[in-house]
Amino acid sequence: MKWVSALSTRPSLEAAVDEVIAATQAALGAPAHLGFVFISSTFASEYPRLLPLLHERLQVPALIGCGGGGIVGNGYRKETAQSPSDSYDELMGRVRQSSATQGSVFQGSAFQPFASNWSGRNASERDVSERDASENSNPFEAVNPFRFVEDSLSEQPVIEVEDEPALVLCLAHLPGVTVDVFWLDEEDLPDLDDPPKAWIDYVGVDPRNNPDFVLISDPFTSNISELLQGMDFAYPSSVKVGGLASGGTSTRANGLFCNDQYYEEGTIGVALSGNIALQPVVAQGCRPVGPIFRVLEGERNVILRIETESGDLPADIAANATPLEALQGLLRKLTEDERELAQRSLFVGVAYSEFQDKLEQGNFLIRSLVGIDPRVGAVAIGERVRPGQRIQFHLRDAAAASEDLALMLERHNRDRRRRPGGKALALAKEPFGALMFSCMGRGEELYDATDVDSNILQSYLPPLSVGGFFCNGEIGPIGGSTYVHGYTAVFGLFYERLSD
């Protein structure tokens, strides 16, 4: 197995295509069975030209990709000199310095927006909050914890290029792997109550081959949440990762690339089966605060009453309380800095397992706290809830996001063979390639610096070829189910699968 990635920042599409093809073909040194291509939205007017240019110069039987507001890949920033290695602890120390706060929690009438300065980028947890302009110098300036090796693509740094011309091409040599590429039309989507066979026929991939999936969707024309529910039903043991194309602000403004076809709607994907395994890392970028609660009463996405399951509240707050009362009690227990952060970056985590006794960071599906009703003390969140579910409030800032990613990578390294549903596989010691799907609200938007998430990735894994893009929503599993996330970094790590 071999995977290579090359990124070009040339402003000419032809020059960028020539550069990435030359670099990847020279590094691969074997026939390519699969390719991924991600292109900056600054090239949006030239999206239809990309596939003809690639196929004139490149022979690859399966190729998918899309446009994005930011592009990730192995390469160099021409304007930046190489810098000596800094330790991971030094990097994290700088991360913790970066946090901006603003907003007001409780204002207005029933189900007002939780913080009026939040702006919805699009649906399904993809709203990105504005940030205060920092008066301090950039805490990440000159941080680069990796030494560069010029003659190996996998040992070139993984960089994140945002709002500038960029093109990344990944090529993979995959002997013994079956590759199936597909495009799914929203109009043909089965009903959620249809049997698994309807979904299998729709996708066109045999579940008996134990496939894993990479999915890329248009954010405006694909019902991606229903698609993921249906695919989890039909392919329960399969990992699904991916993202929603970004950069376009209206219907048919985001490009999807599938073999030699250019699409402006729907979902494209690739299924991989055989001696390969796709292992996910999902970092939702938050840390828990306060006790764990159990929902006593709720309807749709509105929580009406909760009780304390673990942890302490102030004595003047009843164990059985409205969510608003519990939140007010929690805020009184937070530090001043945490209370300020809660004004704009407070979220609710919904436990994905009803049977896990001890819940910890990473065991929750993070959703936005989207509104409150002071009249009855109810809160609305970006997820359906039901009585009996456990919830916990979470905070998000640069430090929380980076530390959460580090924690998820630590867990992966400790138990890299285990699948989201619990089964363990026989895998090679190290991954041979990776894809990165990061929220548009991360990167410089969150850290006020470049390459922070990719630097953290590289500090936990050996030199690795990586490709990816910044998304309008990130696809990845939490527990045994697949969701569309916001503010999240999802990594798909490709391993050679060994005989059991």
**SS percent in the chain: helix, strand, coil, step 5:** 25, 35, 45
User: What residue ranges do the domains of the chain occupy?
Assistant: 1-98+141-285+396-500, 101-133+287-395
Separation between Cα atoms, residue 101 and residue 117, nearest integer Å: 11
- For the segment 212-228, the average pLDDT, to the nearest whole number, is 93
Q: Is the dihedral of CA 241, 345, 297, 308 positive or negative?
A: positive
Separation between Cα atoms, residue 152 and residue 148, nearest integer Å: 9
Q: Whose CA is closest to 17, among 41, 42, 51?
A: 51
Query: With helix as H, strand as E and coil as C, how does 264-314 read?
Result: CCCEEEEEEEECEEEEEEEECCCEECCCEEEEEEEECCEEEEEEEEECCCC
Tokens representing 51? 């596939």
Query: Which pLDDT tens digit goes with each residue over 302-344?
Result: 999 999 876 555 555 556 789 999 999 889 989 999 999 998 8
Per-residue pLDDT, 183: 97
pLDDT range class, residue 141, cuts 50, 70, 90? very low
Separation between Cα atoms, residue 18 and residue 495, nearest integer Å: 29
Residue 32 has pLDDT above 80, yes or no: yes
Query: Which pLDDT tens digit goes with each residue over 340-378?
Result: 999 889 999 999 877 777 888 888 999 999 899 999 999
Query: Which pLDDT tens digit goes with each residue over 367-426?
Result: 999 899 999 999 999 999 999 999 999 999 999 999 999 999 999 999 999 887 678 899
Residue 154 has pLDDT above 80, yes or no: no
Tokens representing 325? 């009362």
Separation between Cα atoms, residue 168 and residue 469, nearest integer Å: 9
262-266 — which CB contacts under 8 Å span 24+ positions? Answer: 262/47, 262/48, 262/50, 262/51, 263/183, 263/218, 264/218, 264/221, 265/185, 265/186, 265/218, 265/220, 265/221, 265/222, 266/183, 266/184, 266/185, 266/186, 266/217, 266/218, 266/221, 266/222
Separation between Cα atoms, residue 325 and residue 342, nearest integer Å: 15
104-113, 153-162, 164-173, 287-296 — most confident range: 164-173
Q: Whose CA is closest to 139, among 111, 179, 104, 98?
A: 98
Kindly tell me the burial class for residue 41, based on how many C-beta atoms sit within 10 Å of its own C-beta (0-12, 13-18, 19 or more).
buried
pLDDT range class, residue 247, cuts 50, 70, 90? confident
Per-residue pLDDT, 182: 98
CA atoms within 13 A on the CB side of 248: 23
Query: Which pLDDT tens digit goes with each residue over 39-97?
Result: 999 999 999 999 999 999 999 999 999 999 999 999 987 654 444 334 556 555 655 55
Q: Mean pLDDT for the chain? A: 84
Phi/psi of residue 215, each to 5°? -120, 135
Per-residue pLDDT, 27: 95
Phi/psi of residue 108, each to 5°? 85, -160
Residue 18 has pLDDT above 50, yes or no: yes
Residues with Cβ < 8 Å from 229, sequence gap 6 or more? 192
What's the whole-model pTM score? 0.84
CA distances from 404 to 38, 224, 284, 285, 490 (A): 26, 26, 7, 6, 12
Residues with Cβ < 8 Å from 467, sequence gap 6 or more? 5, 7, 36, 38, 72, 73, 168, 169, 170, 434, 435, 436
Residue 408 C-alpha from the chain's centroid: 12
- For the segment 280-298, the average pLDDT, to the nearest whole number, is 93
Per-residue pLDDT, 124: 37
Encoded amino acid at 337, one letter: D
Work out the number of other CB atoms within 10 angstroms of the CB of residue 186: 16
Tell me the three state secondary structure of residue 93. Answer: helix
Residues with Cβ < 8 Å from 140, sequence gap 6 or more? 91, 94, 95, 98, 447, 448, 449, 450, 452
Report the run of H or E that residue 328 belongs to, with start and end: helix 323-333
Encoded amino acid at 17, one letter: V
